[in-house]
Amino acid sequence: MRVDEHFLDEIKSRLRPSDVIGKTVKLRKQGREYVGLSPFTKEKTPSFYVNDDKGQFFDFSSGKTGDVITFVQETQRLSFMEAVEQLAAEAGLTMPAHDPQSQEQDKKRQGLSDWLETAAQWFEAELRRPVGREARAYLEGRGLPEAEWARFRLGFAPGGRTALKDYLVAKGARPAELVDTGMLIAPEEGGAPYDRFRDRIIFPITDPRGRVISFGGRALDPKARAKYLNGPETVVFHKGHQLYGLAEARKIIAAAPSGETPPLAVVEGYMDAIACQRAGIAAVAPMGTALTEEQMEMLWRHHPEPTLCFDGDRAGRQAASRAIDRALPLLKPGKSFRFAIVEGGKDPDEVLREQGAAALRSQMAETTPFVEALFVRERDQEPLDTPERRAGLKGRLRQLAGTIADKDLQQAYREDLLTRLDGLFARPEREARRPWVPSGEGFGGGRKRGQWGQPPPAPASPEGKASARRLSQRMDLTAAALVKFVLADPAVLDDHLEDALTANGFGDPGLSELAREIIRLRLDHDHLDSGSLTRHLASCGYSTLLTDIDRAAATSSAPILKSDVSLEAARSQWSQAFARLSRLAALDEAIAAAKVSLGGRSAMETLGRLKGERDALKRAIRDWDD
C-alpha cells in the first residue's frame, strides 16, 4: 500500500521529532536543537541531535539522519508502513483506505501547491509595483515597514477582475485548477472564473513547514462587504486544522536559549500575530473561527500552555468563553492554556505601534491560569447574594470539572474550584493578584474595559469583623447617613477621593475599614453601580455592618436620604458635609500637635480656638446646617 505525501506531512506536522525521539533518547535543549547520546552506537559524548524546526535527527557517530518515520524504523526495526501506522495512531490519525487513485490525487495536490507558491510570489511583486502604492501606504501607516514585508511574505492583489488569473494561465495553469486552490471563483450561474482576491493586501497562509496553502486578504476599500477574506476549504487547506503564523512561531520557539520555554500566544488577527512576532513573541491566529479541537492539539504539540489573548470587547469575551468550554474536556497534565489581555482595550498591533516591543512583551507576560479564568467566568454570571445562587455556582463548578476526561486532573480541578468557592466567603486573606477578566464584569459587563478584574470577593478581614461587632455599640448617625448615600450613589465620591483618604470613616472611626474598601473599589472602576458595590461589600463580610448602617441612617433624619430631595440637592448637601468632615480631620490633627507643643499662653489660646472651631463644625455636620 502506498501512502500519499499529504498524509505523511500531516503526521509530521502533528508530531514534534523531539517528543517522539525523546521517548527513546534522553534529550536536553541546546540552542535551537536537542542533543543526546546516540541510540545507534555506544558513546560517552553526545553527538545525536534533533532539530524540530527542520523535522530531522542527525547522528554524527553513526552517520544516520532522517525524520521521525526513519527514526522509528531504525530503532524499532519496523517496516516503513509499520512505522507510519504507529505514528499515525500516536498523532490521532486514521490510516487512509487503499485507493488506486491516491497517487494521482497526491500528484494533483502537489500541482495545486505549486500554483499557490507561484501566486504568493506574484502578490509579493505586485506590492512593490506602482499598482501597490496605496497598499504600501496602508502598511507603513500601520507601523509595518518595508523591511518586514518579506519576512511575512506580504503581498497585494490588484483590483482587476482577472489579473492573477491571467498571470497564472500565461504560466500554464488551467482555470479549473486555480478554482480548486481557492484563488479563483467559478460563478454558480456559469461563466468564466475570476479572481477571489481583488484590491486587497495579501497574507499568505502556510502550513507548519512554511508551504503556502491559502491566502487571506485585507480590503483597502472601506466600503468592501468583507474587511478580511480568507480562502475557502480546499484539498490543501482546512481552516480548522491550520493556524496563521505557525511556521514563523516555530522559528521563534526554536531560537529560544537553552532551558527556556518562550510563550506561544494565540491572538485574533493577522496583524496581531505579525505584531507579536516582530516583538519576539511566538504567536498564531485562527482564521476567523473559534479555536477547534484540532487547532488546540496542534498548539499543545508546540507548547504545554499556550496563551490565549482575546480582545476586550463582547466578541472577545465570547471567544474566550467558547475556548474555555471547548478546551475543558481536552485538558491533561502538561496540556492547558493561560489567558492574557492587553491593557486599555487595545490589541497587540496597537500596543506595538504606540508603546513598543518591550511594552507588548510585558503585557503579554501577564497571564492567568485556565482554572482561574474558568472560575471567574462562572462566579460573575450572577450575584451570589442568596443561598440558592451560591449553591447554583457550586453545582456548575462540579459539573464543569466533571467534563474533564483525565480523571486525575478532573479531581484536581474539582478540589481547586471548590476551594476557590470556599475562599469567597471564608478565605482569611485577599489574594495579592487580581484574576483575569477580559472585559466587563466577568464575561458579562460592568467592569472597566480591557483591565484585570477585582479579586474574588474576599471574606471579612480582621478589621471587617471588628467593624461588624459594632452592632452592640452606638454608631454616629451622620456617618451612617453619609455611607448610606454613597452605597446608593457611589459616583458622589468622585470629586472627593483625595479627601476621602483622610476622612476618618466618614466621621466614625468604626467605619474606617469599610470606608477604605469603598474608596479602593471606586478608584479601581470607571463604573461602579450601587448593586455591585453592595454585593462586593457583603461578600467581604460586611453584611452585618451594612444592616447596622441602614438602621442608624433611618434614625438620622438626614435630608440627603429624604425622598422629596432632588438628587442634585442631595449630592450638594453630601459634598458640603463631607468637606466639613475633611476639615474636622485636619482640626483633630492640629489639636493633637498643639497639645504636644503646649507651653505658654499663646499655645493655650490656639488650642482653645481650635477646639471651639471643631465643636462648631461637629454641630454643623450633625445638624446638616447650610
Residue type at position 458: A
Tell me how far apart the alpha carbons of residues 610 and 287 are, in angstroms, rounded to a whole number.
Answer: 71
User: CA of 270: how far to CAs of 204, 276, 277, 406, 414, in Å?
Assistant: 10, 10, 11, 34, 37
Q: Bridge partners of 157?
A: 200
> 228 has which bridge partners?
218
Q: For residue 438, what pLDDT is reported?
A: 41
**Correct CATH for 261-456 of 3.40.1360.10, 3.40.50.300, 3.30.1360.30, 3.30.460.10:** 3.40.1360.10
Give the integer Cα–Cα distance in Å for 308 and 327: 11
Q: What is the 3 state secondary structure string of 318-380?
A: HHHHHHHHHHHHHCECCECCEEECCHHHCCHHHHHHHHCHHHHHHHHCCEEEHHHHHHHHHHC
Amino acid at 421: L
Q: What is the pLDDT of residue 461?
A: 45
Give the pLDDT of residue 501. 47
What does the pLDDT read at residue 596? 55
The count of other CB atoms within 10 Å of the CB of residue 337 is 27
Task: Report pLDDT for 504.
Answer: 61
User: Mean pLDDT in runs of 10 for the chain (626 residues)?
Assistant: 76 89 90 88 90 88 89 84 88 75 70 94 96 95 92 94 95 94 91 94 92 94 88 91 92 76 90 93 87 90 89 75 92 92 78 88 89 91 88 94 94 93 63 40 38 42 44 64 85 67 64 80 70 79 81 80 79 80 69 59 64 70 62
> What does the pLDDT read at residue 439?
38
Q: Name the one residue in this structure whose C-alpha cell is 470577593.
A: 457
- Distance (Å, whole) CA 250 – CA 210: 10
- pTM exceeds 0.85, yes or no: no
* DSSP letter string, 50-79: EETTTTEEEETTT--EE-HHHHHHHHHT--
Distance CA(373)–CA(439), nearest Å, equals 12
pLDDT in the model for residue 436: 42
Q: What's the CATH class of domain 102-237?
A: alpha beta
Tell me the backbone φ, ψ of residue 200, rounded to 5 degrees. Answer: -140, 145
Specify the CATH number for 5-90; select among 3.40.50.720, 3.40.50.300, 3.90.580.10, 3.40.50.10860: 3.90.580.10
Side chain identity at residue 501, one-letter code: L
Domain boundaries, the chain: 5-90, 102-237, 261-456, 462-623
The C-alpha atoms of residue 214 and residue 203 are separated, in whole angstroms, by 9
Distance (Å, whole) CA 238 – CA 234: 7
